């Protein structure tokens, strides 16, 4: 079995299916570069922190998983090119705040933009979401 974190990340990828502009170019923690501009826009799903807190004397742990969705786009104004994908992805992330029963809540966080210079500029819009979920103290699967 997988950890609840992995179940949540899989649920996010499922929820993001048919996001505007990306077709099937939705990747989990992509390690290989996108080789051609024709592979953009693309959507990357990654996590950067999973903070835990034990808030009661019950054998439960409350987790706050920071997930970043990165929309990669190219064009003369890459953030403008990414906008329809950003709007669609956000709508899909907020449609079911339990991600199919895998978590307690989904909260939007900071959105940042990075421009990468080159022959054809590439932009990266990073959208953070805080996913709240709970496990037992002894089992990260439940």
Distance CA 95, CA 41 (A): 22
- The whole-number pLDDT of residue 117 equals 72
In order of their start, the domains of the chain are 7-46+67-127 (3.30.70.1700)
Q: Each residue's pLDDT tens digit in the chain (142 positions)? A: 789 999 999 999 999 999 999 988 999 876 655 656 668 899 999 999 999 998 778 899 999 999 999 999 988 888 899 999 999 999 999 999 999 999 999 999 999 999 887 667 789 999 999 999 999 999 998 7
- The whole-number pLDDT of residue 104 equals 97
Cβ-count burial of 126 within 10 angstroms (0-12 exposed, 13-18 middle, 19+ buried)? Answer: middle
Distance CA 55, CA 77 (A): 46
- The whole-number pLDDT of residue 33 equals 59
How many C-beta neighbours within 10 Å does residue 89 have? 27
């Amino acid at each position: 079995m997988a950890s609840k974190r992995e179940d949540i990340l899989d649920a996010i990828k499922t929820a993001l299916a048919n996001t505007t502009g990306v077709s099937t170019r939705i990747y989990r923690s992509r390690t290989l570069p996108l080789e051609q501009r024709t592979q953009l826009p693309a959507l990357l799903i990654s996590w950067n922190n999973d903070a835990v807190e034990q808030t009661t004397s019950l054998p439960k742990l409350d987790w706050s998983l920071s997930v970043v969705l990165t929309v990669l786009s190219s064009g003369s104004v890459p953030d403008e090119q990414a906008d329809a994908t950003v709007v669609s992805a956000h709508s899909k992330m907020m449609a079911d705040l339990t991600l199919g029963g895998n978590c307690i809540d989904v909260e939007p966080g900071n959105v940042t933009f990075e421009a990468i210079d080159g022959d054809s500029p590439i932009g990266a819009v990073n959208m953070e979401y805080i996913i709240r979920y709970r496990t037992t103290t002894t089992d990260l699967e439940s």
